[in-house]
Structure 1
Amino acid sequence: MSNSPSTEPQPSYVKLAMRNMVRKGNTSLKHFALTAVGLLAVLVGLAYLTR
């Protein structure tokens, strides 16, 4: 892998996402928490139904 500046890609999506998350920290944290709780609820529900 060469580090020539001409073939350097645009700022990576990961870097952009991190910058966006820092800028909108509270909202993304809320969304992450909601997603985690929802996923946990689905897993617990499936475990309960298939016991």
Structure 2
Amino acid sequence: MSQPSSADPVSVPETSAPQPSYTRLAMRNMVRKGKTSLLHFALTSIGLVAILVGLAYLFH
């Protein structure tokens, strides 16, 4: 068995920079859209708390 050479066409070429992670892209997008992201986060938080309080009241 021979070892594969560096010119093997099956080998994966190395990239100069790794792809940014999903978290990094999400954080970059959130910083870029600042006010909108904060508004959506606040509405989601308020909605979740309202649902939990409503369910607690309903099933009390």
- After the TM superposition, which segments of 4 or more aligned residues of structure 1 sit over 3 Å from their partners? 6-9
TM-score by length of 1: 0.82
Residue 13 of structure 1 is matched in structure 2 by: 22
What do the CA deviations read for 1:17-50 (whole angstroms, capped 9, x no partner)? 0000000010000000000000000000000000
TM-score by length of 2: 0.70
Structure with a larger share of its residues in helix: 1
Tell me if 1:31 matches 2:26: no
Structure 2 counterpart SS, 1:11: coil
Task: Name the count of aligned residue pairs.
Answer: 46
| Higher RCO, Cα 8 Å, sep 6+ | 1
Q: Percent identity?
A: 74
Q: Name stretches of at least 5 consecutive residues in structure 2 with no aligned partner.
A: 1-13
